[in-house]
Structure 1
């Protein structure tokens, strides 16, 4: 029996930028590493890539509470350092920068002053388990995951929708074993959710009332040391999945069929990604183990081994 659709196109990423030695902290202990690396030190753990309107790539460093900016040539500077564990970073349409912080909740960041301040500390005075990633809808609503240490042993992770202008906060789902990256489909009728410790991506349909209805499994992975992490969306409603712990990033079509796979040249920690560059055809990927930002050019007109051409957004 022949395979029902073509093999995915294999793309090898290259290094776009990396933390210079002056910004690394080898041998320095951190609370994050003590708890997540059994005491072994790390010099950085980068995450949360997001582009501003000037083409600069912003990203964070979890263990040392830092915010970095890489210019279009890949030169990296530190812009802020604060007491926290920043994991996700997204830029609002009006230019405001928001951070999902495991320790502090949802934060705002002023790129001019470098000031980081609290935006949303808790849900009705109940503390979050540990915020992980975030995504803006076109109406300005902020969707974010509250992962904490949930997993198959404790499937109580949550996904929220927050309206920063009104303060309205809604828990969309509260029975997830490790909610992580998330992205809306083009119509904003479906929220795709990486469920890391279940090695899966879920599909969460949003009803007209705004509730999650008929949630289901969209993609199932296997193997690796972790699972799906950051997500992105293609211009034809396909889902891009960073499979951290395998050093891979998968590009799927709207039906969930893999059309391309990007391989890391450095490590297995492919944690998150963002589209940028001319025509938004370049995928920029945080490789957290090595403190690098990878870059993968996706073909502009290729049919990807028989699949329809896809555009990126």
Structure 2
């Protein structure tokens, strides 16, 4: 449908050192998600703090790792959970979408992780995956678990900052994953991994869910994972299994492919660096964070 977009190769920003890896140790998470293969680390959730340091999650080992601007890696916290998406809030703390526990709150200064929202009414979440934060503090997050085209029970929720009310935005989704609001915050883009697609959830004037449509259809690999957005409402999409990050303009036309030199498990990403013009993304199977400069600056998100 579109001409082949130009491509560039990413470069290594940081690698998890052997001293911080778990070697051949097994985990329950790895037995399901990566078929029991050894998982020294499995990185997700890159997010920059106010000081310009990058934080990532290490899912199977319940860790939040800090990567300083010189690439030095340290452990910020370790707890009983499967942390995935991570976003810093205006007060300097962060929220974690945790597969095992729900939403958790991370205090980097104290090195603590505590429950923040673990259930809807009396119903535990099935398995939270990722989140994004609106300008007014509303938190949108995905409850993905093992949903797929064969069992499409995935959901998107919104936790309202002003009232504390938890709204169901959309359900019956085959594997909702990364998500990001557009600049006007009147629509939410959603990576639907098992459908290999990006959906667009439009909001009505009162904030309720409006029309939902398929915005980008991908092919190959395992499907889209983390997504983020630039200043012109263009999307950047991590395509797991393809070893790539795709850039699309505001109309969904591909403009650039960023290739991983390390592996094909390109899972999640964030804009950062000078002028916010560099994409940093995780290649989970190798415990690596990659980076590439891009033409349009990313939007600064909470």
Whether these two folds match at TM > 0.5 is yes
Q: TM-score per shorter chain, which class? A: over 0.9
Q: Within the alignment, does 1:68 sit opposite 2:31 as a pair?
A: no
Equivalent in the alignment of 2:6: 9
**Pick aligned residue for 2:197 from 174, 197, 200:** 200
Instruction: Pick the aligned partner of 2:260 from 236, 239, 264.
Output: 264
Partner of 2:164: 167
Q: Is the 8 A contact 2:142 2:155 kept in 1?
A: yes
For the structure 1 residues 138 and 39, does the alpha-carbon distance in structure 2 shift closer, same or farther, using more than 3 Å as the test? same
Given that 2:232 and 2:250 are in contact with CA atoms closer than 8 Å, whether structure 1 keeps it comes out as yes
Separation (CA, whole Å) in 2 of partners of 1:41 and 1:312: 35
Other-structure match for 1:238? 234
Aligned mates of 1:107, 1:164 — CA distance in 2: 16
User: 2-side partners of 1:45 and 1:165: how far apart?
Assistant: 35
Partner of 2:91: 94
Determine the structure 1 residue equivalent to 2:127. Answer: 130
In structure 2, the partner of 1:248 is 244
Could you tell me which runs of 5 or more consecutive residues in structure 1 were left unpaired when the two chains were aligned.
300-309
Structure 1 residue 7, shift from structure 2 partner:
3.9
TM-score, normalising length: structure 1: 0.93
Aligned partner of 1:22 in structure 2 is: 19
Alignment partner, residue 105 of structure 1: 102
Q: In structure 2, what is the equivalent of residue 84 of structure 1? A: 81
- Say whether 1:187 aligns with 2:184: yes
2:290 corresponds to 1:312: no
Return the offset for 1:188.
0.4
Distance between the aligned counterparts of 1:278 and 1:36, measured in 2?
35
Structure 2, unmatched stretches of 5+, are none
How far does the alpha carbon of each residue in 1:94-126 deviate from its partner, in whole angstroms, 9 at most, with x for none?
212100000000000110111100000100010
Deviation at 1:293, TM superposition (A): 0.3
> How far apart in 1 are the matches of 2:86 and 2:110?
17
Q: Distance in 2 between matches of 1:51 and 1:252?
A: 22
Report the Cα offset of residue 259 of structure 1. Answer: 0.5
Secondary structure (helix, strand or coil) at the match of 1:35 reads helix
